[in-house]
Structure 1
C-alpha cells in the first residue's frame, strides 16, 4: 500500500503515511482507537477532489474503498449508503432501483463522505446542498465509539456533522432522502453578462436549476437551465453530438486554450473571445444525474465563495472590472450557481439564500493575485469560502462569517479533545482543538 497521497489537482501532497483500509464500521473504530492510543492523527481519505488542505493526511490515512456500496433503499426513499461510496456509483445504484438524489453538483467523482463533509452543492434556488438531503448518519468518534445520529438521536451532533469537515469523526454510514427517479430537460445557449446581471434574480429563479459560465475578457456567457420532467420524456443527445460538444469543444478546446496561454499569456483574451463565440444552443432531456454532471478532463485549481444572493451581481461586476483592468489572463470560465438557505451550522448557505461564484486556474499554476483579488471582492460582500476549495481565511475571520461557528467548535472540542482528527488546515480554519475561537 502506497504511503504517499496527492489530490486530483496535484496542489496538495503528503508522504510517510500509514495507510489502513478498514472493511466496515468496526474496522474504522479499531483503527481510530489504535491511532488515538498512540497519540497519532487520523484522516479519512475521499477521492481527493478538494483543492484546500482539508483532506490532507498527516499520519494515519483511512482508505474507505472497501467500505462502499448502497445498503438499502426503503419504500419512502431513505437510502442508506456506506460513506466510501463514490457519488457516480451511488447515482447508478439508485437509478437501477428507480430513485435519484434530488440535487447534485457537476462532479460525481467524490465519495459520499467527502462530498458531505465539505459542503458539496449543485444549483437551484429552491434546493439545498447534499447535506440537506441527509436524514441520519453513523459517526466513529475519537474514542472509537460508533455514534448513530439523527434529528431524534444525538441531534446536536447530527446537526453539525451534516457538514463536519472531517473534524468531528469519521462518517461510516449515512442515510439520504432520495426521490423517485426523474429527468431534466436541459436548455443551454449563449447569453450576455450585462443582461444576466441586470435580471439576475429573475434568471436564476426562472426554472428548477440554473447556472451560467462567464468567459473573462468578454461579456459572453453560457447559460444552462435544467427543468425537472418525468422520465418518460427522455430525448438524450446523440452520441456524436455529445462527443463533439462535451469532449471536443468543452474539454479539448479548453485544454488547447490553457496550453496556448501557458506558452503565450497574451493569447488568452483573444482565445477566450473565440471560444465564447463558438458556443451554440442545444436542448435535450436525460436522466437527472446525467444532466447534472459534467466531465472535467482538464485539471484545475479552484476558489469558490458563497455570497448573499442579492450581492452576486455586484460581486461579478467588480470581478469583471478587476479582470479587465489588471494583468490577469484568465483561461477558465467563471461559474455562477445559486442555492436555498439551510440550517446546517457550517454550510456555506447557512441562514441565507446564496449565490456561488467560482474561479479557476490551470493545475500546476499559482493562482496568486487573481485568487487574492477575487477573495477580497467576495469578502467585502460577507462571502464564505467553500470548505473544499482554496482560500486564505483563518478561524478568527470565519467565526465572523458564521453565526453558529462557536457551536461547532465547542462540539469539536467535546468529541475530539485530543485533536485526533485534526490536521494543519483544520487547525487554521477552526483553530486548534480547545482554543475557544468563536465559542460562546
Structure 2
C-alpha cells in the first residue's frame, strides 16, 4: 500500500514535513520491494514509528515507510526467553504479550508508545546502575539495506552490522524484525517520595547503587526532589498495586490534568513559575506499591513537551545537576517542568550514549510552543564540558565534528553506513548533520 499525504508531524509537533509519500509494507519482502522502488526513482526513504522523537531523525524527505501493517509477533520461546517481533510493534503491545507469556523486558524507558524499531534506532534507555538500555537486550536483527538485501544480523552472523545496528539511527537500513532476550516475569516494589535536593546529590552514588532502578525528578526553583527507588522481586511476590482511585488521583489528576493546568498558567504568568513549582513540590507525597515490572517502568505522559537529554559520565552527574541549578537561578530563566535524572551501565555499542562508560542522564523539558533553545543551549553547554552525549531522539545542536569527539567509534559507524548505504537512500538533513555527508 502506498498513499500520498499532504503533511506529517511528530508527537510534539516541532518536526513537520509536507508532500510525503507513505508506504505501508507488510512483511520483509514488501519492505525490500519498497526500498528497491524508491531507490530506482532516486528518492530518499525514512522509516517512522510513533513519531515520538523530538529531533528530525525520522523526518521524511519525499518517502516514508510506516510499519502499521508490519507489527506482529514472529516467535516467542518461553524456555529461552527469546522473542522476535516485527518493527512496527509498540512497546506497549510487546509488554502485554510478554506478560501473558510470563516474561519481562529486563529494563524499559518510561514511555511505551514507541515502536520497537524506533526505540531501538534512537537508543532508548531506562534507569539502573547495573542495567543497559533496550539495545543491550537485542540478540538479533533483520535489516533491509539500500541494495534490497535482507541481512540477518546476530553476534555470529554479520556481526559488524549487528554491533552497530543496535543503535543505528535509521542510517544503516530498515529494521524488519528484532529479537530480544527477555527474562522470567518479575515484579517491582516502587518506593517514591520527596527528599531535599542537596541530600540526593550528596548521596547520589549510594542511592543509585542501593536499589535496582533509581531516578529522581527535581523541580527548578525549589530545593525538593522526587525520588523513585524500584526494587526487583520474584513475580510470585504478592502484588499490591496502587488502588484505582489512587492511580487516578496521583497519576491522572495530579500528574497530568493538574500539571497541564499549572503549565497553562505558567505560560500566561511566567513570573509565577517559582511559586507554582514550590506548590507542586509540597504536594508530593510518599507512596509504596508493588506491581508487574512494566506497570512500574512506564508512566502516562499526556502533557505535550519538547525534550533534551544528555548522557554524561556518571562520576560527573551530581556536578552537572548542581551547575544546571546555578545556571537557572543566575540567568533568571523560569522553568515549569521538572528535570529528570537517571543512571545506566556502560555498554559496547558504537553510537550508544553509554558506550564505554557508566552514564548519568539529565533530561530537561519545556512545553510545546515555547522558545526552548535558550534553556536547552545553556544545559547543552554544561553537559558539553564533560563530553556529554545527546540522546538521538531528543533536541540538541551538535554536528558531526562534535559527535566525533564524543564517540571513539564514530568513524567505524560512518564507514559502515557508507558501505551499506553509499548513495544516501536512508539519510535526511538531521543524519547528514550528525553523521556528516559521504566522501
TM-score (norm 1): 0.98
1:175 counterpart = 2:182: no
The structural deviation recorded for 1:365 is 1.3
Distance 1:139 1:25, change over 3 A: same
With 414-423 and 198-207 compared, the bigger mean Cα shift is at: 198-207
Alignment of 1:357-376 (within 5 A): 357-376=362-381
* Alignment partner, residue 304 of structure 1: 309
1:320 counterpart = 2:325: yes
* Alignment partner, residue 235 of structure 2: 231
Structure 1 CA distance for aligned equivalents of residues 32 and 294 of structure 2? 33
Structure 2 CA distance for aligned equivalents of residues 372 and 257 of structure 1? 24
* Alignment partner, residue 125 of structure 1: 129
Aligned with residue 435 of structure 2, among 427, 430, 437: 430
The structural deviation recorded for 1:70 is 1.7
The structural deviation recorded for 1:199 is 1.1
Describe the superposition over 1:323-368 as per-residue Cα deviations: whole angstroms up to 9, x where unpaired: 1111211010000000000000000000000000000000111202
Describe the superposition over 1:148-188 as per-residue Cα deviations: whole angstroms up to 9, x where unpaired: 01000000000000000000000001100010111110000
1:9 counterpart = 2:9: no
The structural deviation recorded for 1:60 is 0.8
Structure 1 CA distance for aligned equivalents of residues 128 and 423 of structure 2? 40
The structural deviation recorded for 1:127 is 0.2
The structural deviation recorded for 1:274 is 0.4
Describe the superposition over 1:387-438 as per-residue Cα deviations: whole angstroms up to 9, x where unpaired: 0000000000000000000000000000000000000000000001x23xxx
* Alignment partner, residue 35 of structure 2: 32
1:284 alignment partner, SS class: strand
Alignment of 1:319-338 (within 5 A): 319-338=324-343
1:135 counterpart = 2:162: no
Structure 1 CA distance for aligned equivalents of residues 332 and 149 of structure 2? 53
Structure 2 CA distance for aligned equivalents of residues 19 and 374 of structure 1? 36
1:77 counterpart = 2:81: yes
1:292 counterpart = 2:297: yes
The structural deviation recorded for 1:271 is 0.3
Structure 1 CA distance for aligned equivalents of residues 381 and 84 of structure 2? 41
The structural deviation recorded for 1:249 is 1.1
1:4 alignment partner, SS class: strand
2:113 alignment partner, SS class: coil
Contact map agreement 1:210 1:224 (CA 8 A) in 2: yes
Structure 1 CA distance for aligned equivalents of residues 292 and 264 of structure 2? 34
Structure 2 unpaired stretches of 5+: none
Describe the superposition over 1:72-110 as per-residue Cα deviations: whole angstroms up to 9, x where unpaired: 111200001101100000000111111110100000000
* Alignment partner, residue 99 of structure 1: 103
The structural deviation recorded for 1:204 is 1.1
The structural deviation recorded for 1:253 is 2.1
Contact map agreement 1:69 1:90 (CA 8 A) in 2: no
* Alignment partner, residue 383 of structure 2: 378
Describe the superposition over 1:104-142 as per-residue Cα deviations: whole angstroms up to 9, x where unpaired: 000000000000000000000000000000001000000
Runs of 4+ in 1 over 2 A off after TM superposition: none
1:20 counterpart = 2:23: yes
* Alignment partner, residue 420 of structure 2: 415
Structure 2 CA distance for aligned equivalents of residues 3 and 177 of structure 1? 40
Structure 1 CA distance for aligned equivalents of residues 330 and 432 of structure 2? 36
Structure 2 CA distance for aligned equivalents of residues 4 and 24 of structure 1? 26
Structure 2 CA distance for aligned equivalents of residues 253 and 208 of structure 1? 30
1:403 alignment partner, SS class: coil
Contact map agreement 1:3 1:19 (CA 8 A) in 2: no
* Alignment partner, residue 356 of structure 1: 361
2:120 alignment partner, SS class: helix
Structure 2 CA distance for aligned equivalents of residues 15 and 97 of structure 1? 42
Describe the superposition over 1:178-225 as per-residue Cα deviations: whole angstroms up to 9, x where unpaired: 101111100000011111111111111111000000000011010000
The structural deviation recorded for 1:38 is 1.0
